[in-house]
Each structure stands twice: as structure tokens, then as C-alpha cells.
Amino acid sequence: MTKLEKSLKINFKDKNLLKQALTHRSYLNEHPEYQGESNERLEFLGDAILEFTTSDHLYRVFPEFPEGQLTVFRSAIVSTKTLSKVAKSLNLGQFLFMAKGEEEGGGRNNPTLLANTVEAIIGAIFLDQGLKTTQDFIKRHILFLLPQIIRSGAYKDAKSKLQELVQERVKNPPIYKVIKEEGPDHAKIFTVGVFVNSKKLAQGKGSSKQEAEEEAAKTALEKIG
């Protein structure tokens, strides 16, 4: 924990919050003696704080851009790809608490799991240190990647391209909805549909909602041509 705190540049008052942020739900099944929770509730909180902080930053830094372009940038920043990159830079994988089976299945390098852990840590920092410290952490470890994302065009994933195309044609943005969830909690498969004006364009599957949304967007772009 001390090593990770140095990497995060944050000294937690409540060390249990940091451990919770690093605890995958699979760990609870093998360790009934553990009295804490998994990181899923912290992930929920951290996701909201990350979106808010990113939105505020983009709004202030790019006053000339419409909301559609800001949404595209935000999607790239909070994406699994970006957050897993941040997690790897902090070596979060080595600190995770997970079941043996999850670890043997490559859990410590799983992009979705790593991205979720970053969000959980953001939630933990917020509860332990407050909003200012949390936003400083987000700016230091995540938002600094924004110029590189823009220069390289990395923000133009399938979801971003579909959003640009749809908003040009019908103004209303595409909406993503979970159609089905299959499999056990630690290995769920999501089926997500993408809709425009209540009409389903396509659907996609993935091990996370984000991955399924991206697949749905790719299929929709292929259909649109």
C-alpha cells in the first residue's frame, strides 16, 4: 500500500478505502474473512466524478468547440483504452486483490478490469481526500493525455465517428442500451444496441458495456457505409 501511495502521490487517511478500490469481486468468494466490499461501488462513484471533472475541463479549455466535439473528446479520455493505459503506468495490476482463477485468466492485465480499478481509486480518493485532491489526481494522471489524444486522432473511435455522422444527419445523438447480460458476474457478456430516434441501427457484444457499445458502433458504421 505504501508503494502504491507513493506512485499515486496520495497518503490515504483510511487505508481500507484504498484496499477496497483494489479488491475485485472475485476475491470475496475465496476470502470470507475479508470484511470489506469489492470495488464496484467505488467504481460507480469514481466514474461520475471522472466524467464531471473531464467535462468541466473540456468546457473551459475549448470554448470554441460545440458540445458534440467535447463529447467525443470526453469519450476518448474516459475510455477503457485510456484508463487501462493509466493503470499500467501506475502498475495497478500488481496491487489488485482477486481470486486465483481470475489471476490465472490474465486478470492483472485485463484492460476492462484495470480501467474499472482506476475509477474505483478515483472514488476512494474523493471519499478520503475531497474533490480538490481528486481533481488534481485526475488532471495529473489522466487529463494530461488529452493533447496527445487530439494530436494522434485517437479520439476517433467507432462510437465517436458514429456520433459525428448521426448528428450531422439527424441532430439527435445515438443512444446505447443494454439488451442482454449473460454469464457469471466475474465473466459477463453484454449485448448492447445502438438506437437513433428509437430505431435500432445495430448491436454488439463485449466483456464490458463499453466494449459492447464500441462493437455496436462499428457494426452500425458498416451498415451505414
Residue numbers annotated as active site: 47, 119
Q: How far apart are CA 108 and CA 211, in angstroms?
A: 18
CB 158 within 8 A of CB 221: yes
Put residue 36 in one of left, alpha, beta given phi > 0 → left and psi -120 to 50 → alpha: beta
Q: What angle do CA 221, 150, 44 make, to 5 degrees?
A: 75
Name residues whose C-beta falls within 8 Å of residue 203's C-beta, 6 or more positions apart in sequence.
179, 191, 192, 193, 194, 216, 219
The long-range contacts involving 164-167, CB below 8 angstroms and separated by at least 24 positions, are: 164/68, 164/72, 165/221, 165/224, 166/196, 167/68
CB 37 within 8 A of CB 97: no
